[in-house]
Structure 1
Amino acid sequence: MALHFSQKEDTIIALATPQGVGAIAVIRLSGNNAIKLANQVFYGKDLEKQESHTIHFGTIRDEKRVIDEVLVSLFIAPKSFTKENVVEISTHGSSYIINQVIKLLVSKGARPALPGEFTQRAFLNGQFDLAQAEAVADLIHSDSEASHQAAMNQMRGGFSGEIASLRTELIHFASMIELELDFTEEDVEFASRDDLRILVEKLLRVVEQLISSFDLGNVIKNGVPTVIAGKPNAGKSTLLNALLKEEKAIVSDIAGTTRDFIEDEINIGGVIFRFTDTAGIRETTDVLEAMGVSRTHEKMKAASLILYLFDLGDTDMVEISKDINKLENLGIPFLKVANKVDKANPLFVNELKKSYPDTIFISAGKKENLETLTSRILELVNLDKFRTGNTIVTNIRHYDSLTRTRQSLLDVLTGLDEEVTNDFLAMDIRRSLHFLGEITGEITTDDLLANIFSKFCIGK
């Protein structure tokens, strides 16, 4: 829900650490009266006379009843996360203690915080822009090196800097076009149409690069959907277990054991891969197995990477070639993985190496050559942009605004080609500025803010 002005003046309170019993818990207050309210229940030093960024030991008491011994950290405005007075109370991790402290401070005038309200206040108070605020949530939920670095880059203003640069250059021309509208009768040109075209084409190149980075950003944030596909008994479940280093999937010599698919996540080189062990692909009269094969085809079409696994002792070159042609027609990156190399005929292995030199030979059962496989998996995920520090778009809202920006800029070029009047040209430029401004929050609505921050955890 959107915040009313009166709510923005409240002192808010929430548990900032995860729910559950732990060694300590941190309760956070923010607002003009945060220190004053905390001082009413804290017995130790007078908090209102202490300096910012100091920590104080004492007790929290409800009148004479001691609730807990605590450490209180002070952050005096504007030197805090929200740019308001902030107090963080470190208590023991008992849920009873946490509830008693929060209940006591609410009785003194604090209000329970809404989801994401601390970060929303930081944004509204100018601590950072909207894209950086969203990066806070991404940082909290990052579960790999890649997603962590992408979130850190965005939170530190890398993406925002790119957008701000685009808007600044476009605003200059927008103001010149608007100025011309005031002098239509004098037929004065303040903005060179050739220079405007050069600028718009330059901006389009940058916007296109950001849009194209979303595919990479999406897999960095959400994981790479990877399907292990092949005939029954090729060793798909064994390979999944070997990669996971646990017995996740049932392994059996009976063909068609996997009727549905099994999923799990694996961190490879700092990137999360969402592996799916699928039902074996073959013609079958078994209704349940046939349903599994059908789902395998669906999973393959939705994957970003396919591991085509085949048993060297149970597959010939004709069958391999036929499967590879099907995968190439599918248009999804795939790796050819030859399993059970320890039991294979050396002549067949040599033939396969000549025909398909990029084949990876492994033994999933003996966990042989899996390092080569994981290295090749990483090579297929284009992390060059990410590794060199280029801006990566990971947020679907930003992607949507960028695609709208691209269309508006294309409309500007069309207007220049057709020599439309200044008012139509100005309209398309303003639309471009509007969509860019939506990303960083220069252009926003209460509904948009409510939608974004409602997805944050309470206490952040």
Structure 2
Amino acid sequence: MFSLHEKEDTIVALATPQGVGAIAVIRLSGKDAIRICNQVFKGKDLEKQDSHTIHFGTIRDGERIIDEVLVSLFVAPKSFTKENAVEISTHGSSYIVNQVIKLLVRNGARPAKPGEFTQRAFLNGQFDLAQAEAVADLIHADSETSHQAALNQMRGGFSGEISKLRAELIHFASMIELELDFTEEDVEFASRDDLRILVEKLLRVVEQLISSFDLGNVIKNGVPTVIAGKPNAGKSTLLNALLNEEKAIVSEIAGTTRDFIEDEINIGGVIFRFIDTAGLRETTDVIESIGVSRTHEKMKTASLILYLFDLTDTNMEEINQDVEKLENLGVPFVKVANKTDKANDQFINDLNRKYPDTVFISAGQKENLDALKNRILELVNLDKFRTGNTIVTNIRHYDSLVKTRQSLLDVLEGLDNEITNDFLAMDIRRSLHYLGEITGEITTDDLLDNIFSKFCIGK
């Protein structure tokens, strides 16, 4: 955690990515940010300018001009950090950036730590902790759905849900605490029936949020999807067709893929992590058998399996056996029949009658891949997300919600057993504590350090 002295420092960092580019943006924040910049800026007197204005001039080290720049001013509290802040847009040379930052440090700034700008925004009340964490998620969002989830959280959707729950519970907690001061009078300020109704309502909401984490985790990190089947079923060909590049080696020789090959594909705004695995068969080849073993492990931990089989080299009995095994595995799977361009029409009709949800494709000819993608999206089930429901994407929030649920269940158990007010108040306070951990109303220095240390420097 930053010391009090460090919080009062003016910090500086490069806000744009490292490397050569057209422009670079250097960010300062702190009470002396405008003054420090003004010391090295030749142009208007920055300390006399209004907030949210941009000024052209030069950055100089003495009489030496380092660069022509644009300086954007944000006067406290009208900035991201609620402190005085300056953003200097320079040319994107690494040399220029280093020279400007070193000059600003010599004039009183210090290099920012990872996430220090966002941490200051949180500490200064710009937003709560869940919203601060969403800033990092937004920066790393690589799909439409992960971007939307992070944006919803950053704008307070998730925090609003939690704050409403907490506010209702605080009222009852205060009433029960008040009763403790009037134990001899035997008065009741908080109806136990009303408390039970509230706790049961809170539990329903908390359960919904907890159950949304599986979907949220998928949105944030991508769907691990295993392509499984016998050797030469066309797994590598399918991966290449979906990626639209020659990622995996394709050969007529069975067992070419000895290990798994992984890559990401964006389908309908969702990131899927496709894994091409070694073919499933009995083998005496030591290396191939290790690959087959890894395939089984990958299938157990996958969120989705594409069961791919060759229509020209698989009979109905084999398909039935494989389908039974996959159903016992308990992982959602899609039956994908490959090589329709070479298959027997009668077999296709028979298979379609028995398994009408089968997707028929030709990976080699790239035929019917859109139908496969649509089927994959159906199984991910993004309806909850698209209807605007709050989705939990953060493992820390999930952990706090699980603890909240247990504390609320303890409250109900206490009501059932008619426990005394002091013990009932303890269970309610514990629920409030875990809810408060999510939004940052309850924090520790270690927690804040852990969260903000994962941010990039300059954010």
TM-score range, shorter chain: over 0.9
2:32 is equivalent to residue 56 of structure 1:
no
Equivalent in the alignment of 1:346:
345
2:375 is equivalent to residue 376 of structure 1:
yes
Letter in 2 for 1:389: G
Equivalent in the alignment of 2:267:
268
Equivalent in the alignment of 1:119:
118
Which secondary structure state, in structure 2, belongs to the residue aligned with residue 55 of structure 1? strand
Equivalent in the alignment of 2:363:
364
Equivalent in the alignment of 1:166:
165
Equivalent in the alignment of 1:34:
33
Equivalent in the alignment of 1:175:
174
Letter in 2 for 1:137: A
2:286 is equivalent to residue 287 of structure 1:
yes
Structure 2: runs of 5+ lacking an equivalent: none
Equivalent in the alignment of 1:321:
320
Q: CA deviation at 1:88?
A: 0.1
Q: CA deviation at 1:69?
A: 0.5
Letter in 2 for 1:188: V
Equivalent in the alignment of 1:422:
421
Equivalent in the alignment of 1:86:
85
Equivalent in the alignment of 2:10:
11
Number of matched residues? 459
Letter in 2 for 1:427: M
Kindly report structure 1 stretches of 4+ aligned residues shifted beyond 2 Å. Answer: none
| Aligned ranges 1:181-192 → 2 under 5 Å | 181-192=180-191
Equivalent in the alignment of 2:307:
308
Q: CA deviation at 1:445?
A: 1.0
Letter in 2 for 1:175: S
Which secondary structure state, in structure 2, belongs to the residue aligned with residue 342 of structure 1? coil
Which secondary structure state, in structure 2, belongs to the residue aligned with residue 185 of structure 1? helix
Distance 1:202 1:93 in 2: 55
Equivalent in the alignment of 1:214:
213
Letter in 2 for 1:209: Q
Distance 2:169 2:381 in 1: 31
Deviation digits for residues 147-181 of structure 1 (CA, Å, limit 9, x no counterpart)? 00000000000000000000000000000000000
Letter in 1 for 2:346: L
Counting aligned pairs with the same residue, the percent is 85
Distance 1:441 1:304 in 2: 32
Distance 1:115 1:382 in 2: 36
| Aligned ranges 1:128-277 → 2 under 5 Å | 128-277=127-276
Letter in 2 for 1:411: D
Distance 1:140 1:349 in 2: 47
| Aligned ranges 1:398-409 → 2 under 5 Å | 398-409=397-408
Q: CA deviation at 1:70?
A: 0.4
Q: CA deviation at 1:244?
A: 0.1
Letter in 2 for 1:230: G
* TM-score, L = length of structure 1: 1.00
Deviation digits for residues 302-324 of structure 1 (CA, Å, limit 9, x no counterpart)? 00000000000000000000000
Which secondary structure state, in structure 2, belongs to the residue aligned with residue 260 of structure 1? coil
Which secondary structure state, in structure 2, belongs to the residue aligned with residue 365 of structure 1? coil
Letter in 1 for 2:99: Q
Which secondary structure state, in structure 2, belongs to the residue aligned with residue 246 of structure 1? coil
Which secondary structure state, in structure 2, belongs to the residue aligned with residue 392 of structure 1? coil
* TM-score, L = length of structure 2: 1.00
Distance 1:280 1:131 in 2: 44
Q: CA deviation at 1:251?
A: 0.2
Distance 1:378 1:19 in 2: 36
Q: CA deviation at 1:382?
A: 1.4
Structure 1: runs of 5+ lacking an equivalent: none
Which secondary structure state, in structure 1, belongs to the residue aligned with residue 165 of structure 2? helix
Q: CA deviation at 1:277?
A: 0.1
Equivalent in the alignment of 1:100:
99
Distance 1:359 1:167 in 2: 47
Q: CA deviation at 1:221?
A: 0.2
Q: CA deviation at 1:80?
A: 0.4
Q: CA deviation at 1:403?
A: 0.2
Letter in 1 for 2:456: C
Equivalent in the alignment of 1:46:
45
Distance 2:356 2:446 in 1: 56
2:343 is equivalent to residue 333 of structure 1:
no
Letter in 1 for 2:92: G
Letter in 2 for 1:129: D
Equivalent in the alignment of 1:440:
439
Q: CA deviation at 1:446?
A: 1.1
Distance 1:446 1:346 in 2: 67
Which secondary structure state, in structure 1, belongs to the residue aligned with residue 404 of structure 2? helix
Q: CA deviation at 1:135?
A: 0.1
Which secondary structure state, in structure 1, belongs to the residue aligned with residue 185 of structure 2? coil
Q: CA deviation at 1:412?
A: 0.1
2:23 is equivalent to residue 24 of structure 1:
yes
CA-atom RMSD in angstroms: 0.4
Letter in 2 for 1:253: E
Which secondary structure state, in structure 2, belongs to the residue aligned with residue 37 of structure 1? helix
Q: CA deviation at 1:283?
A: 0.4
Distance 1:200 1:123 in 2: 30
Distance 2:355 2:232 in 1: 22
Letter in 2 for 1:289: E
